[in-house]
Structure 1
Amino acid sequence: MNGAVEAANKNIKKIIQKMVITYKDWHEMFPFALHGYRTSVRTSTAATPFSLVYVMEVVLPIEVKIPSLRVLMEAKLEESEWVQIRFDQLNLIEEKRLAALCHG
C-alpha cells in the first residue's frame, strides 16, 4: 500500500503546484486540491473515491448555485421516498465496492 499512498500524494502535490502562485500559499489551495482528487475517476477502480465511500456521486458546488437536473429531482421527493432511495443505495454499497475491487 505504500506505493498507492505515494502515488496519491504525488498526484495531490501536482494538483497543488498547478494552483499556487508562490510556495507560501499552498495551504489555502489544499482543500480544493483534495476535493478535485476525491471527485475524479480513478482508472484502477473506474469510480471516484467519493462514490466508493458514500455510494453516490458528489454534488459539486456549482450544482448548488445553478441546480442540475439531479439536484432538482432530489429536491422534489417526499422525505419518505428519499429515505427509501438512500436506504436502497446503502444496500448496494457492498456490491459496488466488490465490483471496484474486481476491476482492480
Structure 2
Amino acid sequence: MTVTYKDWHEMLSFALLTYRTSIRTLTGATLYSLVYGMEAVIPIEVEIPSMRVIAKSELEEAEWANQCYEQLNLIDEKRLTTLCHDQCYQQKMARVFNARYNGPSVVRETFSGGAIILSDMDGTENAPLVNADVLKKYYL
C-alpha cells in the first residue's frame, strides 16, 4: 500500500491511538489511563497476546469486572500522582528557564545569521553567542 497525503483520513485512527496511548512527559501517564483508569490494549496485543492479555483472558467474568472496579477506585490516586508529577515537571522547567536568565543585557555586537554578543549593564561581556530569536526587547 502506498501512502500519500490523500490517504490521511485512513491513517487518522492509528495516529489518534498512538497519541492517546503514549506516555506524556508532563503527566507521566497516558491520556487513555487518565480517562479510563487502566491502560489500553493495543491491537497487536490482541493478535499476539501479551502477559497482560493472557492473565485477563483466564479470569472469570465476575473476577474481571471486580478487578476493573478496583482499578476505577484507584483512578483518583493515579490522578493525584499525575498532578504531583505535573507540578514537579513545571518546577523543573521553571528552574531551567530561570537559570538561563542573567538579567538585563545590552547588545554589544551583531553578526549575520542572527548571532549576537551581549554584555551586562556594567559592560562585562557574556561569553556565549546568543540567537536573536530568543531575546526579548525592552525599551526604556
Per the normalisation by structure 2, the TM-score is: 0.57
1:25 partner amino acid? D
Please give the alpha-carbon distance, in whole angstroms, between the structure 2 residues aligned to 1:58 and 1:66: 15
Superposed counterparts of 1:15-94, under 5 Å: 21-94=3-76
Q: With structure 1 as the length reference, what TM-score do the two structures score? A: 0.75
The structure carrying a bigger strand percent of its residues is 2
Unaligned runs of 5+ in 1: 1-19
Q: How many residues align?
A: 85
More helix by share: 1
Q: Which fold has the larger relative contact order, with Cα–Cα distance below 8 Å and residues 6 or more apart in sequence? A: 1
State the one-letter code of the partner of 1:66.
I
Structure 2 regions of 5+ residues with no counterpart?
Answer: 87-140
Large movers: runs of 4+ above 4 Å: none
For the aligned residue pairs, the C-alpha RMSD in angstroms reads: 1.4
Question: Distance in 2 between the 1:92 and 1:63 partners?
Answer: 24
Counterpart CA distance in 1 for 2:17 and 2:59 is 28
Name the SS of the counterpart of 2:27 in structure 1: coil
- Rg larger in 1 or in 2? 2
Q: Identical aligned pairs, as a percentage? A: 62
